[in-house]
Amino acid sequence: MGKDVLTATAWCNGSTSTCGTGYGFKVDKGDRDQFLKREWRTINLRFSDTDECCDVNIDKDSFWNDACRELISRSIGAWLIRNGLAPWQKGNPPKFFLKPLSEDTFEVAVG
């Protein structure tokens, strides 16, 4: 039996000098496989504290392999920074819940 939200952890590729560059959410493989479909090109994220939303590309091999699984977007990075969620202390990235609103649209809430 599955759960009703996808869990994610803030992710950064180490490039924190530019607002929004290299930020995203890393998702668990099981959550990815339960909530997302490989044939989708993008998913839409809506940030729970604003009217903001963004489309995130998931049509890439790196997202579907066992190692990466990052949802990457400048909009995610800008939202993290604006809300004081990035940068974070090394080894302590914030957690998030992505609640399905429709087939390919998710509401992002801070965990």
Residue 1 lies in a domain: no
Residue 72 lies in a domain: yes
pLDDT of residue 111: 87
Number of folded domains that form the chain: 1
Residue 73 lies in a domain: yes
Residue 56 lies in a domain: yes
* Residue 77: domain span: 6-110
pLDDT, tens digit (0-9, with 9 covering 90-100), for 18-36: 444 589 999 999 999 999 9
Do 5 and 96 meet the contact criterion of CB atoms below 8 Å apart?
Answer: no
pLDDT of residue 49: 78
The arithmetic mean of pLDDT across residues 75-101, rounded, is: 92
Residue 49 lies in a domain: yes
Query: Which residues is 105 bridged to in the sheet?
Result: 44, 102
What is the pTM (predicted TM-score) of this model?
A: 0.89
Residue 36 lies in a domain: yes
Sign of CA dihedral 74, 68, 42, 49: negative
Residue 52 lies in a domain: yes
Q: What is the CATH number of the domain that holds 42?
A: 2.40.330
pLDDT of residue 21: 58
